[in-house]
C-alpha cells in the first residue's frame, strides 16, 4: 500500500468551477499535511499547509483535513486555466521528512 495516494487524473474542470483534489495517507502518526503545485518542468510550489482537523482557507484555496479518515483534500474555487498543473499532496511523519503522493493532474478548460 502506498503511503500517500492520489488519483493521477487528469481531472478536467471548466473555468470558473470548483476543482476538488483528494489524498489519503496510511500513517496515522502523520502530523503535517501540504499541498504543492507543480507545473511541467518546474519544481513544486507550496500552496497550503494544514495541521488540524477541519478546513483552512486561503484565497481561492481550501484545504480540508480529516485525521480519523486519514484524508486530506484541496478545493480550488473559481478555477482558472493558470491553475492547470499537477497537485502534489505531501505528508510529514518523523524528522520532517515529506512523503509525496504521485500527484493529480488538473486541467482547467475554457
Partner 1 sequence: GAVVSQHPSWVICKSGTSVKIECRSLDFQATTMFWYRQFPKQSLMLMATSNEGSKATYEQGVEKDKFLINHASLTLSTLTVTSAHPEDSSFYICSATTSGRAAGTDTQYFGPGTRLTVL
Residues of this chain that bind partner 1 (CB under 8 A): 31-32, 34, 36, 41-46, 49, 51, 88, 92, 95-103
Distance CA(11)–CA(17), nearest Å, equals 12
Beta-bridge partners for 59: none
Instruction: For residue 94, report the phi and psi dihedrals to the nearest 5 degrees.
Output: -90, 155
- Choose between 17 and 107: whose C-beta lies nearer to partner 1: 107
Pairing status of strand 45-50 against strand 32-38: antiparallel
Give the number of other Cβ atoms within 10 Å of residue 40's Cβ.
8
- Choose between 65 and 88: whose C-beta lies nearer to partner 1: 88
The CB-of-16 to partner 1 minimum distance in angstroms stands at 29
The CB-of-59 to partner 1 minimum distance in angstroms stands at 15
The CB-of-68 to partner 1 minimum distance in angstroms stands at 22
- Choose between 14 and 59: whose C-beta lies nearer to partner 1: 59
The CB-of-83 to partner 1 minimum distance in angstroms stands at 19
- Choose between 12 and 14: whose C-beta lies nearer to partner 1: 12
Distance CA(61)–CA(81), nearest Å, equals 15
Distance CA(99)–CA(92), nearest Å, equals 6
Amino acid at each position: 500500500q502506498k503511503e500517500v495516494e492520489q488519483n493521477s487524473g487528469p481531472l478536467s474542470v471548466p473555468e470558473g468551477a470548483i476543482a476538488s483534489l483528494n489524498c489519503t495517507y496510511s500513517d496515522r502518526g502523520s502530523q503535517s499535511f501540504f499541498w504543492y503545485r507543480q507545473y511541467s518542468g518546474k519544481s513544486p510550489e507550496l500552496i497550503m499547509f494544514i495541521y488540524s482537523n477541519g478546513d483552512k482557507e486561503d484565497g481561492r484555496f481550501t484545504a480540508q483535513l480529516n485525521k480519523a479518515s486519514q484524508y486530506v483534500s484541496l478545493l480550488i474555487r473559481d478555477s482558472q486555466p493558470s491553475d492547470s498543473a499537477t497537485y502534489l499532496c505531501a505528508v510529514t511523519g518523523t524528522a520532517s521528512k515529506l512523503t509525496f503522493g504521485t500527484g493529480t493532474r488538473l486541467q482547467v478548460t475554457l
